[in-house]
Amino acid sequence: MAKSYIVTGAAGFIGCNIVKALNEKGIDNIIAVDRLEGDKVKEGNLKSIKFREYMDKSDFRRIFNTGKLDKAAAVFHMGACSSTTETNEEYLVDNNFLYTRQLCEWSLGSGARFIYASSAATYGDGELGYSDDDRMTPLLKPLNLYGRSKQMFDLWALENKVLDRIVGLKFFNVYGPYEDHKGEMRSVINKAYGQILKTGELKLFKSYVPKYRDGEQERDFIYVKDAVKVCLFFEEHRNISGIFNCGTGKARTWLDLGRAVFAAMKREPHITFIEMPLEIRDKYQYHTQADMAKLRSAGYREPFTSIEEGAGEYVRNYLSLK
């Protein structure tokens, strides 16, 4: 019988793209796990992929906790609350930490390869750099509850000495198809396309740190197709485990991103700057850049897509066709 896979967050952004990539390899023996709650966009994402069975997250969680879930070759755990502005700490701890821990323990007990989504939000303001060396993990100070909930599981995995058997991926700023349901958590490329289409201009936040001019705040932007390739690399190379950064290793400015979107839309750039909301000013990251040495030394050789190439493909092959 063909190997089976479990993908949580399968109707979401990275999860949907993982299922799609597995489908392109001829694999559809997949349990797709998510919570739709009437979300038509996520329902549309599900319709774009092939899988053996869909399970609501609550049903799935109950079944694997009672030991009645069939074994799987691998679990891609992408299901989480990804809102950096979420204020319900109890919900975040349950959804992003306890759920992950329970599923990890089930995977280890059943022999499934466990690959989970951590986050670059664990790095906080970047004062300690962006090294995924295990010695740095306990020192990191996330700026928001979301980042803390992700850090909680990274620390649990480290303290319980399971990182030699599982993979955590610290995703940086991921963008690409199937993120429309994320609302305010969509990538700026997705938001920019809509803004430019409607108004002809793009609004970016002003800088409140003298070191960075307006629009020159920096992020490590990674195309979702590249992020998925990294996920599949670890499923295929089961002898390699640990926590790894998943970015490009290159910081680019918001201005670079904006100009790339205008170029993809074949328009002249028109960018203005607006005030940043007070509630996020002291939690704002001005610079992120993944240290990719650990992933490269693990044997990952694929090149990463530039923001110009990625924005161009995203706009031409997805956003402009909606």
Catalytic site includes residue 130: no
Residue among 146, 178, 223, 314 flagged as catalytic: 146
> At 33, phi and psi to the nearest 5?
-115, 135
Measured between alpha carbons, how far is residue 233 from residues 1, 61, 276, 299 in Å?
22, 26, 38, 9
Which of 146, 187, 130, 206 is closest to 311 using CA atoms?
A: 187
To the query of whether residue 20 is one of the catalytic residues in this protein, the response is: no
Q: Which of 187, 194, 256, 259 is nearest to 227 (CA)?
A: 187
Kindly give the residue spans of alpha helices, DSSP state H, lying in the chain: 13-24, 40-47, 57-65, 89-92, 99-110, 145-159, 188-199, 224-236, 254-264, 278-281, 293-297, 307-317
Q: How many CA atoms are closer than 13 Å to the CA of 295, on its beta-carbon side?
A: 29
Q: Which residues are CB-neighbours of 51 under 8 A, at least 6 positions away?
A: 7, 10, 19, 28, 30, 31, 32
Catalytic residue selected from 50, 57, 182, 283: 182
Closest-CA residue to 252 (of 284, 224, 226, 290): 290
Where on the phi/psi map is residue 16: left (φ > 0), alpha (ψ -120 to 50), or beta? alpha
- By annotation, the residues acting in catalysis are 146, 182
